[in-house]
Amino acid sequence: MAAAAVSSLTLAACGNSPADEPVAEPLPRLMFHPCDGFDPDARAAAGIDDGEPVKFEDREIPYQDWACSFDSDDPYFGVVVSSAAKLLSKTENDARLTLVEDTPVGGHRTLLHDFPGGLQCLASVDFDTAVLEIMVMYKQVGVETADEACPLALKVAQDVGPYFPEHL
């Protein structure tokens, strides 16, 4: 009986060892900052005004995220664009988001999500080891619903698609 207990403890311990779990490789560091990476032609194509973007503080933990906010030439919405060193699956599996569309943009898989509660519509463009996120906020003057915000987020992504970098 004691030998059986020791044997089952040994088997259980082998399956639960941290050494047996796969270790995730760290993602490469970001190289593309959206505040600097889209030239005036790209901004003009997307209807983003030529003013100075508002650069957010770069985040490094739990993953890199470099973001900035642009005003649109259309006075009714602003656009937040970020480079994030994360896999698209992180966004795809986020239970807080509601998938609106899964479509290619500029040769990259792009997920269009609504963040419920009147916050934003998010176009997440896959770059293998990073994601370019384009967000249009709503519940603002002129943009009241996800049905209005999501086409705007997708349009901005499509308009800057020809200007996408090779890597983020």
Share of the chain above pLDDT 70, in %: 82
Q: What global pTM score does this model have? A: 0.82
- Category of 139 on φ-ψ map: left (φ > 0), alpha (ψ -120 to 50) or beta: left
Q: Over the stretch 101-158, which tens digit does the pLDDT of each residue have?
A: 999 999 999 999 998 766 899 999 999 999 999 999 887 667 888 888 999 999 999 9
